[in-house]
């Protein structure tokens, strides 16, 4: 799980991630970063997502 992103000139160049298997933080040089969020809206009691999203 990424816990921090390091930017240089408006570009992400490195990420720090938590390695759950080894219980430590690792540093990864990033040539390309795709930031994907969402997909877990039903974990919250209240959400701003439309009702059809939570089916």
The count of domains in the chain is 1
pLDDT band at 43 (very low <50, low <70, confident <90, very high): confident
Q: Which two tokens stand for residue 29?
A: 């040089």
Residue 42 and residue 54 in contact, taking contact as beta carbons nearer than 8 Å: yes
Q: Radius of gyration of the chain from Cα atoms?
A: 16
- Is the whole-model pTM more than 0.85? no
Query: In this model, does residue 55 exceed pLDDT 60?
Result: no
What's the rounded Cα separation, in Å, for the pair 29 and 38?
A: 24
Domain that holds residue 20: 2-54
Contact in structure between 13 and 30 (CB atoms under 8 Å): yes
């Amino acid at each position: 799980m990424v816990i921090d992103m390091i930017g240089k000139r408006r570009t992400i160049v490195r990420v720090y991630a938590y390695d759950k298997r080894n219980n430590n933080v690792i540093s990864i040089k990033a040539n390309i970063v795709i930031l994907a969020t969402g997909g877990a809206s039903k974990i919250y009691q209240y959400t701003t997502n439309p009702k059809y999203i939570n089916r």
